[in-house]
Amino acid sequence: MTDVAPIWRKSTRSSSNQGNCVEVADNLPGRVLVRDSKDQAGPVLSFGPAAWRSFVGSAKRG
């Protein structure tokens, strides 16, 4: 099995004007990682793909 490094990108819903940026890595099989861009060495949340889709769908609906 080959280890795949996360490829981080800023979330499209992040507010760059106020420094509130969330980074997402969705290139890993079976999981989506989320972290605070201001604390890249800090904690990382891990979601399964279905849980992440549900969260994003809820956030879009408000």
23-44 pLDDT, tens per residue?
A: 999 999 999 999 998 898 999 9
CA angle 30, 36, 41 (to 5 degrees): 85
Confidence bin at 2 (pLDDT 50/70/90) = low
| Position with higher pLDDT, 54 vs 11 | 54
Do residues 44 and 34 touch, judged by C-beta distance below 8 A? yes
Helices (H), 1-62: 49-61
How long a stretch of residues is the chain?
62
pTM: 0.80
Residue 49: the pLDDT is 93
54 has pLDDT over 90 = yes
Residue 42: the pLDDT is 94
